[in-house]
Amino acid sequence: MLLSIPFPPLPSPPSWFPGHMNRFTKQLPALLSRTDIVLELRDSRLPLTSINHNFEGAIRKWRAERGKVTYSSQPLRGAAVEPSPVSGYGGMTCERIIVLNKRDLVPEWGMEPFRRAMASRFPEQIIHFASCNRREDIKSLSALLVNIAKRNPHATETNVLVVGMPNVGKSTLLNSLRDFGIAGRTPKALQTSAQPGHTRALSNRLKLSEDPLVYSFDTPGVMLPFLGRGDEGAERGVKLALIAGIKEGLYDVEALVAYLLYRLNILHPVSPAYLKILPPGTAPTPSVSTFLEQLARRLGMLLRGGECDTTRAAKWFVEWWRREGGLFSAAAPHALPSAVPITGSQGQQPQPGRGSVVRRGWGFDLEWSVEKGDFVPDVAASILEHRMGECIDEFVERTQEYERQGGTVSQTQEKKRTWEEKLARRAAKSKAKFMARKKGF
């Protein structure tokens, strides 16, 4: 068992925001005017990090134009506030469904507490866990879309816009919904890829249901233009790279291994998932070099002279986790042996006199400390919901503060924006002089 799990040093996040992402971001308000349901996909392993805050402003405006109540995110308790008076489309359908995709890669025991914690803070959002490998998930999501469409019997059709970050599974999910909702054999309508950025343009309309008529659009995955400064931005970037949400090659693979090793140790410090691929009897370790040497020897990845090929082993380990290791992580039990103290994420020792302290996590975004008595069966679910709610509150408050400080814009982007504003002022001034001379004639 690990008694110290130090946080690894992480590289600065790269900038990856191709032109097709920028174009779609500008198109979003116009697309929402023709949309009845927003289906926003996030990754269950990163239920908070995979939120794209650039969508929020356009979606709030869309809801207000349709006369829907907006919920304030400031108190984070779902307090309703009346929308601004608008001459909108109050009778039209306006629903936002958050699909936490790839649910098979996170432990089952945390799903319902997380859903309740989110629903209590964002009651205007419908939270739905799904995996394309589970037919019952696709069936329930399809039924949800159909039931929403039936609420407005006067509408000739219902349009769904699917949005999300790269590689969260938008195209794959739409193919599955089409297969379920349309009778008979249906050809694969959308091309999919394990690499981010495969979908680069808005798709043609895709029929998801015939009665009632439900159509959808697939959209390009959109990354944040700037992942952030300091440790927070560095951690956000590594998390997204691990789920293949950032273009391959922008990160050194050993940096990904360092963070992945840290997270797997936090998820289960007694028996982390990576022990399944190391020699029998190997103990957990926070050391990247030790781990990679052990893995390379186990896999027979050796260079001339018997030296371990750690670079090759690092690539194999990341691919193994994406392909299989996540399933092992998802099988981690709810409770750990609580008689032995475990240190926190920064290696702090438990405070004396507080009993046995256990550091636990769910996915890669939620992490908290619990004590021995917290895992009483009849109160475990409520405690989990409370712990997860604290993580959500902290994340949203931190994000809001970061935005207020201008942390969502890089120095390069700020300089570019300042230069564009300067050019616009020059152009306006030149035009004003030209018009003045023209009037003089």
Report residue 310 as tokens: 């750690």
DSSP 319-376: HHIIIIIHHHHHT--S---TTS----TT-PPPPTTS--EEEEEETTTEEEEEEGGGG-
- What pLDDT score was predicted for residue 413? 52
Evaluate whether residue 41 is within a structural domain: yes
Q: Is residue 267 part of a domain?
A: yes
Are 212 and 238 within one domain?
no
Assess if residue 137 is contained within a domain.
yes
Of the chain, the percentage scoring pLDDT greater than 90 comes to 39
Residue that finishes a domain, picked among 277, 303, 331: 331
Arithmetic mean of pLDDT over the chain: 80
State residue 82's pLDDT score: 38
Cβ neighbours of residue 27 under 8 Å, at least 6 residues apart? 202
Per residue in 184-208, pLDDT tens? 555 555 555 455 544 545 667 888 9
Domain identity same for 180 and 136: yes
pLDDT-based confidence at residue 11 (cuts at 50, 70, 90): confident
Which of 158, 183, 217 is the endpoint of a domain? 217
Is the model's pTM score more than 0.85? no
Of 167-181, 182-196, 304-318, 351-365, least confident by mean pLDDT is 182-196
Q: Give the residue carrying structure tokens 């399933």.
A: 327
Cα 372 from Cα 336, distance rounded (Å): 9
Whether residue 256 contacts residue 264, with contact meaning beta carbons closer than 8 Å, is answered with: no
Half-sphere exposure (CA, 13 Å, Cβ side) for 331?
10
Cβ-in-10-Å burial (0-12, 13-18, 19+) of 120 comes to: middle
H-helix or E-strand containing 142?
helix 135-150
Kindly state the average pLDDT of the residues 382-397: 91
Half-sphere exposure at residue 37, Cβ-oriented, CA atoms within 13 angstroms: 28
Interval 242-259: pLDDT, tens: 988 887 788 899 999 999
Q: Is the model's pLDDT at 3 over the cut of 70?
A: no
Residue 139 near residue 133, CB atoms below 8 Å: no
Determine whether 402 is exposed, middle or buried from the number of CB atoms within 10 Å of its CB (0-12, 13-18, 19+).
Answer: middle
The answer to whether residue 302 scores a pLDDT higher than 90 is yes
How many C-beta atoms surround the C-beta of residue 275 within 10 A?
A: 18
- Of 47, 32, 20, nearest to 392 by C-alpha is 47
Q: From residue 354, give the alpha-carbon distance in Å to each of 5, 359, 375.
A: 20, 14, 15
160 and 248 fall within a common domain:
no
With a cut of 70, say whether residue 132 has pLDDT above it. Answer: yes
**Three-class secondary structure of residue 170 per DSSP:** helix
pLDDT of residue 222: 85
The confidence score (pLDDT) of residue 411 equals 53
Same domain, 277 and 210: no
Q: 372 pLDDT exceeds 50? A: yes
Domain count, the chain: 2
Question: Which amino acid, residue 227?
Answer: L
Alpha carbon distance 399, 386 (integer Å): 20
Q: Which token pair is 41?
A: 């996909």
Whether residues 245 and 178 fall in one domain: no
Least confident of 331-345, 355-369, 423-437: 331-345
Residue 70 confidence (pLDDT) = 55
Token readout for 331 is: 């099988």
Predicted pLDDT of residue 188 = 54
In this predicted structure, the answer to whether residue 303 has a pLDDT above a threshold of 70 is: yes
Question: Per-residue pLDDT averaged across 302-316, rounded?
Answer: 94
Q: Residue 67: left if φ>0, alpha if ψ -120 to 50, beta else—which one?
A: left
- What's the pLDDT at 85? 37
- Whether residue 400 is contained in a domain is answered as no
CATH of the domain at 271: 1.10.1580.10
Looking at the fold, whether 37 and 91 belong to one and the same domain comes out as: yes
**How far are the Cα atoms of 5, 111, 152, 217 from residue 170, in angstroms, in the given order?**
35, 20, 26, 10
Query: In angstroms, rounded to a whole number, what is the distance separating the alpha carbons of residues 158 and 181?
Result: 14
Co-location of 88 and 140 in the same domain: yes
Rounded CA separation 163/170 (Å): 7
**CATH, residue 155:** 3.40.50.300
Contact 50, 43 (CB under 8 A): yes
Q: Which of 86-90, 210-214, 229-233, 334-338 has the lowest mean pLDDT?
A: 86-90
In a domain, 46, yes or no: yes
Q: Which pLDDT score, from 0 to 100, does residue 146 have? A: 95
Confidence category of residue 291, pLDDT binned at 50, 70, 90: very high
Q: pLDDT band for position 388 (50/70/90)?
A: very high
Q: What is the pLDDT of residue 88?
A: 35
pLDDT band with cut points at 50, 70 and 90 for residue 84: very low
Q: What is the DSSP string of 24-73?
A: HHHHHHHHHTT-SEEEEEEETTBTTTT--GGGHHHHHHHHHHTTPPEE-S
pLDDT band with cut points at 50, 70 and 90 for residue 440:
low
Q: Which domain does 153 fall in, by range?
A: 19-217
205 and 234 part of one domain: no
Q: Are residues 192 and 266 in the same domain?
A: no
Of 277, 301, 331, which residue sits at a domain end?
A: 331
Which range has the top average pLDDT, 56-60, 143-147, 165-169?
Answer: 143-147
- Do 338 and 328 form a contact (C-beta atoms < 8 A)? no
Q: Cβ atoms within 10 A of the Cβ of 57, count?
A: 11
- Residue 49 CA, chain-centre distance (Å), reads 5
Element (H, E) at 220: none
